[in-house]
């Protein structure tokens, strides 16, 4: 079946594929539009497999929040050019909205759209971290999004009790800046503390410190380690003369999540 330039343009508009790809698809399918669409999808899937070993450290982090529900979805790609594209950013937001309303497993519902995106943008595109919060009744939830080039690259959601929305937002901003790994000291796995302690003992001995002083020095340095990785013990970003705990007063952080590109 012969095809025209108008057919090529129609296929391009309906699939988002490049002009030469659309022309090739119509040639391979003898001008059959539906067969051409299927050919483009199959070729796109095959091409995605060949890109499986490429680094995809770029992308976008999308937030969807409407208390008591919030969702963060990371959509990964290879280049910041693709990460900033309108279709890529829109797909990340669609995924976040879907997760907020239906749960983390709902990302599977957009498998076809993701394949279309891989076909269109010709990069290794995949879903990264997915987080969903459902705040308890009466709790406060707030967020912070750090954007770069028109896309979210560092997103934080915080759930708190006894707090104002402003305080929750300030804590979210702090988390984005300070990047704590744990909420409280008790949350740090014992093996993580043990490994850090062993490293600090070695470092302290190599500094030539007296053997009788090593335990005390290491204990002090372990305290510094907790200040780096534990939210409640960190110096507050807006006033580093106070810890986060001191800033909270009678309020408390129930949980937080941070998803960051790279």
Q: What is the pLDDT averaged over residues 52-79?
A: 90
Averaged confidence pLDDT in the chain: 90
What local confidence, expressed as pLDDT, does residue 168 receive? 97
Residue pair 202/223 in contact by the 8 Å Cβ criterion: no
- Give, for 28, the enclosing helix (H) or strand (E): helix 19-28
What local confidence, expressed as pLDDT, does residue 155 receive? 98
> Is the confidence at residue 156, as pLDDT, over 50?
yes
> Residue 3 — pLDDT band, cuts 50, 70, 90?
confident
Distance CA 154, CA 60 (A): 9
> Residue 1 — pLDDT band, cuts 50, 70, 90?
low
Secondary structure of residue 88 in the 3-state scheme: helix
Return the percentage of the chain with pLDDT > 70, whole number.
93
> Residue 51 — pLDDT band, cuts 50, 70, 90?
low
Distance CA 85, CA 77 (A): 11
What local confidence, expressed as pLDDT, does residue 131 receive? 97
> Residue 46 — pLDDT band, cuts 50, 70, 90?
very low
Q: The tokens of 197 are what?
A: 């302690």
- CATH topology (fold) of 58-184+231-260: Tetrahydropterin Synthase; Chain A (3.30.479)
What local confidence, expressed as pLDDT, does residue 259 receive? 98
Distance CA 14, CA 138 (A): 47
Output 137 or 53, whichever has higher pLDDT.
Answer: 137
- The answer to whether the 5-50 and 58-184+231-260 domains have the same CATH topology is no
Q: What is the pLDDT averaged over residues 228-248?
A: 96
> Is the confidence at residue 64, as pLDDT, over 60?
yes
What are the structural domain ranges in the chain?
5-50, 58-184+231-260, 189-229
Q: Which range (18-22, 94-98, 197-201, 208-212) has the least confidence?
A: 18-22
Q: Which CATH architecture has domain 5-50?
A: Orthogonal Bundle (1.10)
- 113-144 pLDDT, tens digit each: 998 888 788 888 999 999 999 999 999 999 99
Residue pair 163/140 in contact by the 8 Å Cβ criterion: yes
Q: What is the pLDDT averaged over residues 169-183?
A: 97
> Is the confidence at residue 50, as pLDDT, over 70?
no
- 65-77 pLDDT, tens digit each: 999 999 999 999 9
Peptide bond into 56 cis (omega under 30): no
- Using N-to-C axis directions, what is the helix angle for 86-102 and 111-121, rounded to 10°? 170
- Give, for 192, the enclosing helix (H) or strand (E): helix 190-206
Q: What is the pLDDT averaged over residues 157-181?
A: 97
- CATH topology (fold) of 189-229: GTP Cyclohydrolase I; Chain A, domain 1 (1.10.286)
Please identify which residue in the block is written with the tokens 């709790």. 139
What local confidence, expressed as pLDDT, does residue 44 receive? 65
> Residue 53 — pLDDT band, cuts 50, 70, 90?
low
């Amino acid at each position: 079946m012969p095809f025209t330039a108008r057919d090529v343009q129609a296929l391009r508009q309906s699939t988002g594929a490049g002009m030469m790809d659309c022309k090739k698809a119509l040639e391979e399918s003898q001008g059959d539009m539906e067969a051409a669409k299927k050919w483009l999808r199959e070729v796109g899937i095959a091409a995605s497999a060949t890109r499986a070993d490429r680094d995809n450290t770029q992308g976008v982090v999308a937030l969807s929040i409407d208390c008591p529900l919030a969702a963060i979805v990371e959509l990964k790609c290879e280049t910041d050019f693709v990460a900033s594209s309108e279709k890529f950013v829109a797909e990340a937001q669609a995924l976040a909205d879907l997760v907020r309303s239906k749960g983390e497993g709902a990302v599977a519902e957009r498998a076809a759209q993701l394949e279309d995106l891989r076909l269109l943008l010709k990069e290794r595109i995949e879903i990264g971290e997915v987080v969903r919060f459902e705040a308890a009744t009466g709790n406060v939830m707030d967020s912070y999004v750090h954007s770069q080039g028109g896309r979210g690259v560092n997103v934080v959601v915080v759930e708190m009790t006894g707090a104002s929305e402003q305080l929750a937002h300030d804590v979210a901003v702090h988390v984005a800046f300070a990047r704590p790994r744990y909420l409280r000291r008790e949350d740090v796995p014992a093996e993580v503390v043990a490994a850090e302690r062993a490293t600090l003992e070695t470092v302290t001995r190599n500094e030539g410190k007296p053997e009788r002083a090593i335990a005390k020095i290491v204990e002090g340095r372990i305290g510094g380690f907790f200040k780096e990785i534990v939210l409640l013990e960190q110096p507050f970003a807006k006033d580093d003369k106070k810890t986060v705990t001191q800033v909270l007063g009678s309020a408390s952080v129930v949980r937080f999540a941070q998803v960051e590109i790279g």
